[in-house]
Chains A and B, each alone.
Chain A
Amino acid sequence: MTAAGLRIAGIARGAAARLRFDAVEITAHEGEILASALLAAGIRTLRHAPGDGGPRGLFCAMGSCQECVVQIEGQRIEACRVLVRDGMEVRSLP
């Protein structure tokens, strides 16, 4: 099943924004939380776990669990604490 159509209908959102997550370009809205924008674009795997290398993604959505950490301009930050900006370049952790 795809994650298409997760944005709740009938809600006006901020200006369109484009960003990249690794090689993938996605469109979102200014001011959306990055993790949420990625989810809506069908991107759920944000990193791979130490140890078993299993896929990990958004879990607590409140900056506590550290599962959604990504890299933006060389700095590690939780995707649930970052607001989308047009032109943002996001990398998954190495």
Chain B
Amino acid sequence: MNFYLKAQSAPPIFFSLTLSFILHFLLVIMVITLPSKSSKEKERAIPIRIHIEEELSSPTTEEVSVIEGKGDIDSKSTTPETKNRSLRSQDYTDIIEERLHAIKAKKRIEKIVKLRAEIKRDGSATGRSLLPRPEISSGTGSYAKEAGGKEKSIEDYRHIIERIIHSNWTYPEMARKGLKGSAVIFIKRDGALEIRELNSSGDRLFDYSMRNSLLKSSLPPPPEEMEVEVRFSE
């Protein structure tokens, strides 16, 4: 929800987001605070809450980390429970919990099946990593708090990850020279790196070196989630 607070670019976007937020918020308040006339109405309210919970509790990290350390999945699943408790009676809490766990389990299974199918198909698999994300030690978060503003901390962070990725970028001496390529990555709150796009250089070995440099890099948590375009040129 904090994107609204740091909209720096196009004012029209900021305006539309704020408007949307306000409208939405008002409607939700309406629904929640209006007195429930019957149990039938009560039941109707619950689907909305699950809808919200689903949105908050199924971030993209889960998609990637299905076969990774259980830590990711487990830690995420505790969040909706706390929210549930404050809202309705214990019965409804239980139903919601069950539904959430079922949804998560289903997603996990779907992901495993999908990856297995990809591996079987031609002995090769597409980009997603199965490696456990390395534990990111805390002692960060200082980026957001630094005096000098958000701009400076993003720039500092950019500089740091540039060095990390560069140090992991290797390429054979005898390989083709003069190549260029790029990749778009998304850095999550915990520093986990997701490769979203790889713009080929036209040479498989070079593309391989780009991808590897990103896969080998373990980044500290960023001041904010960000999309980064990394341009490689030999």
| A and B associate | no
